[in-house]
Amino acid sequence: MSVTVDLPDELLAALRAEAERRGVSIEALIAESVSEHVEAGRPRRRLAIAGVGDSGGKRGFARDADELLADGFGRD
C-alpha cells in the first residue's frame, strides 16, 4: 500500500540523514518508526499463566511435595 505524506523540510532532511546512516531506505525507516510508535501505544498483554505457580508464601519446593500432599494440600 502506498501513502503520500507531506513532511516539513527539516524532518525530511533528518529522515534522509538517518536512513543513509543506517543504510536503509527512507520508506523502511518511516515504517519502522510508525510501527514502534503504534506498538508503544498498545497496553502490554499479561500472560494468562503468570502467577499460576505462586506459592502464596507457603513452602513451595518440589522436595516438600509429598509432605504437603500428606498434610492435605489441595483438598479444600
Helix axes 9-22, 26-41, angle to 10 degrees: 100
The reported pLDDT for the residue numbered 69 is 78
Dmax (CA) of the chain: 75
The reported pLDDT for the residue numbered 53 is 60
Total residues belonging to the chain? 76
Q: What is the pLDDT of residues 12-64, one digit of tens each?
A: 999 999 999 999 999 999 999 999 888 887 777 766 665 556 555 555 677 77
Whether pTM > 0.85 for this model: the answer is: no
The reported pLDDT for the residue numbered 26 is 93
The reported pLDDT for the residue numbered 49 is 65
Give the separation between CA 13 and CA 22, rounded to whole angstroms. 14
CA angle 11, 14, 18 (to 5 degrees): 140
Q: For domain 1-49, give the CATH number.
A: 1.10.1220
The reported pLDDT for the residue numbered 24 is 95
Cα separation of the two ends of the chain: 58
